[in-house]
Amino acid sequence: MSSTPAPTAAPFFPGRRAPGATPGLALFLNAGDPPLPVLHDLVLMLDEEGVDCLELAVPFPDSVTDGPVIRRSASRALGRGGAALDDVLAFVADVRPRLTHTRIALLADWRYSLGRRDPTAATRDIAASGADALLVHALPPRLRTAYLESAAAAALPVVTTCYASSPDATRARAAQDATAYLYLVAHYGRSGTAPAAGHGALARTVAELREHTAAPIAVGFGVSTREDVEAVGASGADAAIIGSAAVAAVERAQQDGRDLPGAFREFVRSVRPA
């Protein structure tokens, strides 16, 4: 039974990039860290700064793919309460109409947030919130086709993932199924770790993935500095995804008692190429 991809909306990242061009920028944060009222102001700031995408996670515990920075963030969010899936969808519904540039890709864990819900209703509710795309963490392979069909029925673009080291067929399938963007994980390991050869060495993998998708390709894991973002651009990818470094910036600002949107604005400007 073949899957039916969800329709592709306007691109998350403007156009395909020539190698060396400035890539788009996506930032990862856990909903609830900072607390949702503060996060609201932070998201508006991201829009002012022209950040292309916020990967907003519904926090979940004990992620085996995340390093200590993101795991601590998820623990803080869960400890505060008020960041379950329905809370996050209400947050997205409130903030998304106020954004003129930044798109929101919702990340939800299958077991913790989605597994007990009817997939058709869940994807419909996520689309109705105004989320621009959905990335499902730890989706069981046997449920992939049903999930893609539910997303297509809800007109909800999907983010798919693959490792640079994944088998050719796995990478090709992920590329074919992507309708929002393809998240190319640069390094097999936990978030925050970088590939030994650098992100620019992914150029061949990016070029091969281009043969299987019209969706943008975004590279993440170990992207934490302006130089890393430039290296992602050198690979020919459309965007760089910054996760652990962004979450660490939130953590430092909260520990220091700083104005979070202002402190995070400094971080955004520090990683964006001139």
Active site residues: 55, 66
| Cα dihedral across residues 205, 108, 226, 49: positive or negative | positive
Strand partners, 136: 108
